[in-house]
Structure formats: structure tokens, C-alpha cells
Amino acid sequence: MRSWQAGGAGLVARAVVAMATSAAVAMAIDVDPAVLDAERARVEVIARASTAAVAIFAGDGAGGSGVLLTRDGYAATNFHVVQPAGPAMRCGLSDGRLYDALLVGIDPTGDLALVKLLGRDDFPVAELADSDEVQVGDFCFAAGNPFLLATDLQPSISAGIVSGVHRYQFPAGTILEYTDCLQVDAAINPGNSGGGLFNAAGRLIGINGRASFEKRGRVNVGAGYAISANQVRNFLGCLRAGRICDHATLGATVSTSADGRVVVSDILESSDAWRRGLRYDDEIVSLAGRPVRTVNAFKNVLGTLPAGWQVPLMVRREGRPQRMLVRLAGIHSAAKLADLVAGGLEPGPDEGRKAVEKFRLPEVVADLYEPRPGYANHRFNVIERDRVGAALAAHRDTLPPGPWVLAGRLEGGEEFRIELADSLASIDLPTGSSSLAVDEPFDRNPAPPGSGGLLAALVVWRRLVTEGPARLGRTAYWGTAPRDPAALGDAAAVDLADVLETSVAGVEARCTVDADGRVLAVDLWTSPDAEPCEVRFAWDAEAGGPAALPTRIDVARGGQAFGRFVVERPAAGEAAR
Amino acid sequence: MSEGLSRRLAAAVIVVMACGAMVSAAVPAPQAVAAAAARKVVKIHGAGGVRGLEAYQSGIIVSPAGRVVTALSTVLDAAQIDCVLDDGRRFPASLVGVDPRRELAVLSIEATDLPSFAVDTGERVSVGTRIFAASNLFGVAVGDERVSVQRGVISAVVPLAARRGAAAAAYTGEVYVLDRTTNNPGSPGGAVVDSEGRLVGMLGKELRATATGIWLNYALPVDELAAGIEVAVSGGGGEPSAAPSGSFDPRSLGIVLVPDLLDRTPPFVESVLDDSAAARAGLRADDLVIAIAGRTVASRAAVQQALAAIAPGDPVRLAVIRGGDVVECDCGARPADTGVSP
């Protein structure tokens, strides 16, 4: 009895001291101005971060937190926060106003979701930091809506330090796997989910989403976990696509060998990793440019990557390092993902209508919601596809109409000539000539031989540029992927570019487009199991000719180079004739 | 570039915030203190893993030659106890001794040149001292992953009046009460350091306040830690026992019982320490203890009680079942409530 009372008294005394204003303290004792400056700076940082904090009300007493990332209202939150809400929700900001918001995209495995607040184009935003820079001991604070207390829409702030970095948290009875997450002692309570975790500079280092709860009930016990900002950045493009995103698998499992190395213990022969040469007992050295020394580190790196990315993998076999670029498959099938999010997020045609009725969407929201299998909200896919289409169009406008001719020399010095016209594509190589009629099934003509469909890829490229994604077969916005996968890990920040997915004339293609509307890459599959034809375009600012046409084209298939085409004479329209 | 600059600025702000009114260039950055403390804390793996009893806790390295101090708990009721260092190296640990009163144990691992804390028994730190607690709470760190670090303040220095389940905590001396939720599963044995990285205490087991039932966040002050280590390693040379009945540790006789994981764990012998009274008496692993000093014992807890009821110096006679036969073992005189004889 006595001990607790004494302890309580001590706590009270301390709390009183802590609550006294800095001014009062300044009167009582001589406070170093640096301390007061630091305090002022911290107050300002927290005030600024608070403006980007979102209180999410998902209906029926459900809800949580979010954080604004863009001026036009895109906000990140947790999948488990929006799951009960369906396509629409209301969001409060610290300006005291409630905004209509709707679901954009979800990542059920990584527990991420993107929503869009409506009604402004000047929302306050939080800036994503590089979360790999975060160190244990760093000051951090959470701004959110714990216990849904923010009935006045003002976020609650809880401060602490980073307790651990690169933590791996097993899926606890759910699919929500927290990989490579940040662990903090700032109080993370129910309702903080989806809210921002900020560093001392007020930049966003993570999205709070999970805490260790145990016998003491569902309240903070000093261990909260946040999805890292870098993982958020990797998935943001896929979320903006309105998709139900999936996480990546290498198609191989790893384990720790007796001497402590991380080695491949099982591998699917249908995986790209196998085709690239990964084998049993290979030691994993690095993945996506990050060193792998433990099984958890492997899971951590993999967990931050969207399915479909191509990443470098470094292995060691019999002491010799080997480097390969591997395409990561999805963990779940589309059907499985749909099951996982069942509950109105992935409705069939009828259920979609029901969902809309159930939530009685305001008109302004209903116009922006379109259910479709595989998507959380297909409407945003169209928005993103059209955005990339506009960039492509701006680029196209620098070219005159008519055929494109790319002539020059292969790396060995032999001449080549590629002509891409509206009805026919042809290529002259030292080994012979081939052509492809634009109206024939591309999958039956993977010319030139050995390329896996180079002409088809070039036709897709030209049609994408000249006709735009909306008119090219079935084209969807896929999301973002590294502009140069091989360079992952070389630079601190991942350089991401938009990716379009196209199904046309019997082939599937993925086209990477930069912000200026230049197509950087086309990967083309003539069948789902075939090795794709990989075409990479490069520009040399010094070269003449139309700026829209590349000065170099690298073509590869199955990890082998097909050819490097140095374009010496690019021409379009009349000049090409 | 600008990121790096802002990081350095941020670090500078944190330093200023961390040391409050006592701004001093000598105070290291909290990141450095956290890292240094975490390097000197080990992850301990032992018995448990069922019914809410964790099979892991934390330990503090107190000598470069591999001496580790930790909380005395069921985790240590294992034939093999492993310590995993900050660099991922895993060592089997041997039990050097225990201090049942302070509920701490000293382990030894065969390693050298380890980063270690000085167990400095200077003055106690005062209420209001900022601290970092480094422990493997919830077992989130595995292998070479660094233990978790929390930040807090010493809220009070008070005598401990606490219980675990229905049993009162053995230790009733003073503890540091902390303002963070530091005492979680896996935390016991974690290090509490001040803002300059000096060891000021060790996180204790999860306990509730006797008066209120509230879970306590507390640490054993470093002077008590030092005294406890002394008791544990000297194997009886320490201070007079103030242990309440029921806290006698059978390991004092060289008997390691199976982990007490059930309501009535059958008192099987897990192992017998070499060259101990029990070994000399012929006790063996897998013996089931059925009676002590003529009184039947049906559970592990009952064994502990029965042993505690024997006055120090009085004979300890056990009856065990081995292969269907009842075997009598005379373990000699009961020692005081101290550590294992070396």
C-alpha cells in the first residue's frame, strides 16, 4: 500500500513540474536560451505536422487516423482502418472541418490504404522522409486519433523515441504482416492506426499501425509499430492506381545454414528467380540493393516490395558472387486477394451497387467511385491512366505524323533499320529482315527471331505514344516501379516512374513512362509463361533528330542481350520518307 | 544532402531536448547512448512458451569475460539457457548463482572481450533522472537484431510492495518507478541507463502493485544489483536471508526442476548440477520427487514450499520415483537461501 501511494505522489509532483509553462520555469530558474529555442521549434514542428493529420470516421463507431501526402488530398492510412468503411468515409482535419473522402487503393498484406479527401487543392501535407535514415534513439511523435477522441478534430500527439528499426512482425492471426517496420515507445493506441509518425524535423517516417498488446488490454504498453515511409513510397503508385495491391515473393524460401548464412532452401522452378539462375543452397547476399544477413532481413526487404517489380538479387555460389535481375511474383492470386478484402471492397456488379446504396454516397463521391474486380476503386485507375496519357500526348506533339524510322549501327558496327508505320512495322538486321502487320495477332509473330517480339514491342510503344493509352487495346495504369531496377540500392532514394499495363493483339506489355511522357521501357510477353522481350530506350541530349525519338535501344531476353541499337538517324513523318 | 543536414539539425535538437535545463556539451547523443546500452544487453532464451509464460527475457553483460545478470524467473528453469549477443552470436549459459531475495541470477557465457557495463555502486540517481531502458520486450529482436530502447524518467524511489499472481514478490527493498511501460514480457533483466549511458538499474519481472493491482514499471537500483550479484557469485557469503518462506531455490542443492508452467506441475527433476549436494545424494534427471522430509509433495510449488520449511542446517531427505521404484536420497544439510555452491 505504502509503496504505491509514495509512487503516486512522486508521479503527481513530477507531472506538476512538467505542466508548468516554460515561462514560469524561466522566471524560476535561468534557462539556457537554446533550450527554449528547441522547445519553440518542437512546438512549431508538431503544430505543422498536426495540420496534415486526418481523423477518419468509418461509420458505426469505427475509424482511425490518416495523414495527407498531396495537396490535392491523397492521404495514407491503414487497410484495417478503411476496411469497415466501404468506399466512402468522412475525414476531419485540424482546421475543424469535415471532408468527404473515398477509398482509392488498398494493400491488404501491408495494411496500407490510400484515400482521397475532396474539396480542396491546397491541403496541408506531410513530406515523406527516408526511413532508412532513422536511428534507434531518434525523437519521434505520432499525430492521430487514439480512442477516436478527436471529436473536435484536433489530433492527439504522443512523443517518444524510436525503439527499434527494421523490425519484422509476424502476421498475428491475420494477413497483416509488418515488415521492416519502425518500433517506437511513443504511445500508439487503438485509433492511432493509419496516422503519421514524424521525426524531429516534422517529416513523415512511418504510418502507425500496430502495437504489442497483451495481458494489460488494448492500450499502449510501450511498443508501437509503424510501416516505414520507404515502404509507403514503394506502394504509393500502385495504391493510386485504385488497385488491390499484392506483395512480392521471390518464388524461393530461405533459411539459415549451420554456419549462419542465408541460403535458398526451396525454389519454384516456375519462378523468374529460377529462370535467372537461382538455385538451392545459393547464399543470398543482397536483395533490391539491401544487404541480407538474416532470414528476417530477407523477409524485411521483400515485404517492402510490390509484386511485379524487377529487382537486383546478389547471391554467392561456391564463393563467387553472381548478380541477377529478378521479377517478383505476387504472394496471392487475384481471387485470394479478393477473398481477403471481402466485405464490400471488392464487389461483383450487383454487390457494387449494394455497396453504393448501403453507404449512400454523396453525389460528389459517387462520381469518383467505380467498383471492378481487382480494384478497390477503378475510377482512380482511369484518372491515373489519363494523367500518363496527357504526358505522352505532350511528348507526341513534338513529332510530325507519319512513319518513324530509326536507323544506325548495332554495337558490332553492322547497320540496322527499323521502320514503324501505321500499318506495318519492319526491321532490317544483318541476319535478315522481318515485318509485323499492325492488324495481325502479335503473339503469333514474335519477330525478329530470338527477340521474343521486338517488333511487337516497338509497335506497342509507337501506338502508345501516337494513340494514347485510352485507345490502345486494354490499357490500365499499373503503378510505379524503379526507373532503373539494376540501380536499386546504389542511390539513397528510389527513382520511380509510371507503369502502364497493356493487353493488345494477343500480347501483354508493361510500359514504363517518365514524368516528361517519354517511354523508358517496354516489356512484352507473347504468352504468360514466355520470357518477355525487354526493350529499354535511352536518349542522348547531344544527338540530333526529333527529341521524342530515342538515340539508343537496348533489347534483351531471358537475361541475355539481343542487341544494342545505336540510333544515328532518327526521323519521323516526311523526313522519314 | 539536405536530408543529411536536416538529420544533423534534428539530432542537435534532440540532444538539447534530452538534457533539458542541464545543457552540456558532454552529454552524448541519445542515439549513441541507446546503441551503446543495447550492445551490452543480451537476449536470453530458456524455458516457457506456454500459458502466457514467455521463454525469453533480457540480461545485462557485467563483465567482458561473459558474466550476465538477469532476473530470476521460470525462463531459467531450463536444462539449456542461451544468450544471444547484439552481434547475433549465441552462447549456452551456465548458472553461476542466484539471489532469491532480489530475484536475480548470474549467468556465465564462454566469451571474451564483450562490451559490458560497470556495476558502479555510487550514489543512487534522483527522482526526475532521464533514463533509457534497453530490453528485449515482447521478444521482437531475434538474432543480431538490436534489443528495444525506451526513454523515460525515474518517477519515484519507493519500497516494492508487489505480487505476481497470489504470491508476494520476494524483494521488498527500494526500486526506481519508471514512467514508461518498460516492464513487459521479455523485459526482465533489461538495463536501465542514465543519459550518459551509465547503468543505474535492472528491469525486474512483471509485477502488480499489491495495493492497486496496477502493473508496475520499475527497476532494481544498481547498488542492490551489485549486492545481489555478490550474493549470487559468493554462493552464501552474502547477507542474512530475509527471504519469505516459499522462495527457497532448489538449485541451491543442485536440483533443477522442470519449468513451473502448469497449475500443478509434477515435480520432475530436469537436471542435477555437477558436484552438488543432490549429485552426491544420487539424484538423477527425470526423477519424480514425491516426498520431502517425510511429507508428500505433489507439485513443483509444493517442493519449493517443503524445502523452504526446512530450517537451514536441517537434513534434506527426498523420496523420488525412478523407473517405478521409490528411491530415497539424502541431500545433506539445507543451505541458507543463497546461491549454488561453486
Out of A3, A41, A215, the one facing B52 most closely (by C-beta) is A215
Among residues A513, A538, A512, the alpha carbon closest in space to that of A523 is found at: A512
Phi, psi dihedral angles at B15 (to 5 degrees): -55, -45
* B-interface mutation test, from A30, A133, A189, A221, most B Cβ less than 10 A away: A221
The secondary element (H helix, E strand) that includes residue B124 is: none
Average pLDDT, chain B: 84
Q: What is the mean pLDDT of residues B144-169?
A: 92
Among residues B322, B266, B327, B316, the alpha carbon closest in space to that of B293 is found at: B316
The pLDDT tens digits of the residues spanning A479-502 come to 999 999 988 877 666 789 999 999
Out of A13, A29, A32, the one facing B23 most closely (by C-beta) is A32
Q: What is the mean pLDDT of residues A81-96?
A: 92
Considering only CB atoms, which chain B residues are within 8 Å of A201? 6-7, 9-10
Query: What confidence score (pLDDT) does residue A464 get?
Result: 95
Cα separation, B217 vs B201, whole angstroms: 12
Considering only CB atoms, which chain A residues are within 8 Å of B10? 138-139, 199-201
Considering only CB atoms, which chain A residues are within 8 Å of B54? none
CB A345 within 8 A of CB A86: yes
Considering only CB atoms, which chain B residues are within 8 Å of A38? 13, 16-17
Give the minimum alpha-carbon distance from B211 to chain A in angstroms, rounded to a whole number: 5
Say if the Cβ atoms of B160 and A35 lie within 8 Å: no
Phi, psi dihedral angles at A170 (to 5 degrees): -60, 150
Say if the Cβ atoms of B179 and A14 lie within 8 Å: yes
Task: Determine the residue of chain A that is closest to B20 in CA distance.
Answer: A35
Residue A8's SS3 state is helix
Say if the Cβ atoms of B179 and A41 lie within 8 Å: no
Give the minimum alpha-carbon distance from B19 to chain A in angstroms, rounded to a whole number: 9
The pLDDT tens digits of the residues spanning A394-426 come to 888 878 888 999 999 998 899 999 999 999 999
Confidence of residue A544 (pLDDT cuts 50, 70, 90): low
Say if the Cβ atoms of B3 and A130 lie within 8 Å: yes
CB B209 within 8 A of CB B183: no
CB A145 within 8 A of CB A63: yes
Out of A42, A135, A136, the one facing B17 most closely (by C-beta) is A42
Phi, psi dihedral angles at B234 (to 5 degrees): -80, -15
Query: What confidence score (pLDDT) does residue A11 get?
Result: 36
Query: What confidence score (pLDDT) does residue A40 get?
Result: 96
pLDDT at B111 over 80: yes
pLDDT at A307 over 50: yes
Say if the Cβ atoms of B145 and A294 lie within 8 Å: yes
pLDDT at A477 over 90: yes
Task: Determine the residue of chain B that is closest to A41 in CA distance.
Answer: B13
CB A368 within 8 A of CB A379: yes
Query: What confidence score (pLDDT) does residue A174 get?
Result: 57
pLDDT at A303 over 70: yes
Considering only CB atoms, which chain A residues are within 8 Å of B21? 25, 29, 31-32, 35
* CB-facing half-sphere around the CA of A577: CA atoms within 13 A: 7
Q: Which residues of A are catalytic?
A: 80, 111, 193
CA geometry: angle at A104 spanning A99 and A106, to 5°?
125
Query: What confidence score (pLDDT) does residue A123 get?
Result: 98
> Which ipTM was obtained for this model?
0.83
Q: What is the mean pLDDT of residues A434-447?
A: 94
Considering only CB atoms, which chain A residues are within 8 Å of B35? 135-137
Contacts of A164 (CB under 8 A, 6+ apart): A136, A182, A183, B140, B141, B145, B146, B147, B148, B149
Query: % helix / strand / coil in chain B, to the nearest 5?
Result: 20, 35, 50
Q: What own/partner pairs with CB < 8 Å and gap ≥ 24 does A253-260 have?
A: A254/A284, A254/A295, A254/A298, A255/A295, A256/A294, A256/A295, A257/A283, A260/B88
Q: Which residue has the cell 512480392?
A: A248
Query: What confidence score (pLDDT) does residue B239 get?
Result: 39
* A-interface mutation test, from B31, B130, B157, most A Cβ less than 10 A away: B31
Q: Kindly write down the DSSP assignment for every residue of A246-313, as one continuous string.
A: -BEE-SEEEEE-TTS-EEEEEE-TTSHHHHTT--TTPEEEEETTEE--SHHHHHHHHHTSBTT-EEEE
Phi, psi dihedral angles at B177 (to 5 degrees): -90, 130
* A-interface mutation test, from B2, B13, B39, most A Cβ less than 10 A away: B13
- Can you give the three-state secondary structure of A41-103, one letter per residue? HHHHHHHHHHHCEEEEEEECCEEEEEEECCCCCEEEECHHHHHHHCCEEEEECCCCCEEEEEE
Higher pLDDT, B174 or A489: B174
Out of A183, A200, A203, the one facing B140 most closely (by C-beta) is A183
* B-interface mutation test, from A136, A199, A296, most B Cβ less than 10 A away: A136
CA distances from A309 to A58, A71, A288, A306, A326 (A): 32, 27, 10, 6, 8
Among residues A510, A444, A442, A436, the alpha carbon closest in space to that of A479 is found at: A510
Give the minimum alpha-carbon distance from B134 to chain A in angstroms, rounded to a whole number: 9
pLDDT at A294 over 80: yes
Query: What confidence score (pLDDT) does residue A360 get?
Result: 63
Out of A5, A161, A293, the one facing B30 most closely (by C-beta) is A161
Considering only CB atoms, which chain B residues are within 8 Å of A233? none
The pLDDT tens digits of the residues spanning A311-325 come to 999 999 998 999 999
Confidence of residue B23 (pLDDT cuts 50, 70, 90): very low
Question: If you count them, how many residues does chain B have?
Answer: 342
How many of the other CB atoms lie within 10 Å of CB of A94?
20
Say if the Cβ atoms of A133 and B17 lie within 8 Å: no
Lowest mean pLDDT among A362-371, B113-122, B172-181: A362-371
Say if the Cβ atoms of A39 and B17 lie within 8 Å: yes
Task: Determine the residue of chain A that is closest to B13 in CA distance.
Answer: A38
pLDDT at A277 over 80: yes
CB B230 within 8 A of CB B338: no
Strands A74-77 and A62-68: antiparallel
Cα separation, A7 vs A10, whole angstroms: 5
CB-based burial, B211-244: b 16+ in 10 Å, e otherwise: beeebbbbbbbbbbbbbbbbbbbebbebeebebe
Q: Which residue has the cell 552474502?
A: B238
For residue B143, give the C-alpha cell: 538474432
Query: What confidence score (pLDDT) does residue A175 get?
Result: 59
Among residues A419, A416, A413, the alpha carbon closest in space to that of A428 is found at: A416
Task: Determine the residue of chain A that is closest to B34 in CA distance.
Answer: A137
The pLDDT tens digits of the residues spanning B51-97 come to 667 899 999 999 999 999 999 998 998 889 999 999 999 999 999 99
For residue B24, give the C-alpha cell: 552540456
Contacts of B328 (CB under 8 A, 6+ apart): B317, B318, B319
- Percent of chain A residues past pLDDT 90, beyond the cut: 70
Say if the Cβ atoms of A139 and B29 lie within 8 Å: no
Confidence of residue B266 (pLDDT cuts 50, 70, 90): confident
The secondary element (H helix, E strand) that includes residue B66 is: none
Among residues A239, A234, A241, A237, the alpha carbon closest in space to that of A300 is found at: A234
Cα separation, A137 vs B134, whole angstroms: 11
The strand pairing partners of B279, in sequence order, are none
For residue B235, give the C-alpha cell: 554462493
Considering only CB atoms, which chain A residues are within 8 Å of B38? 136
Say if the Cβ atoms of A221 and B181 lie within 8 Å: yes
Confidence of residue A165 (pLDDT cuts 50, 70, 90): very high
CB pairs under 8 A between A and B: 177
Query: What confidence score (pLDDT) does residue A27 get?
Result: 58
Among residues A328, A552, A535, the alpha carbon closest in space to that of A452 is found at: A535
pTM metric for this prediction: 0.81
Lowest mean pLDDT among A555-569, B8-22, B231-245: B8-22
Say if the Cβ atoms of B13 and A212 lie within 8 Å: no
Considering only CB atoms, which chain A residues are within 8 Å of B3? 129-130, 133, 492
Task: Determine the residue of chain B that is closest to A5 in CA distance.
Answer: B211
Cα separation, B43 vs B306, whole angstroms: 33
pLDDT at A2 over 50: no
CB B272 within 8 A of CB B284: yes
Lowest mean pLDDT among A86-95, A255-264, B86-95, B304-313: B304-313
Strand runs labelled E in B100-160: 104-109, 130-135, 148-159
Phi, psi dihedral angles at A506 (to 5 degrees): 85, 5
Q: Which residue has the cell 534522483?
A: B126
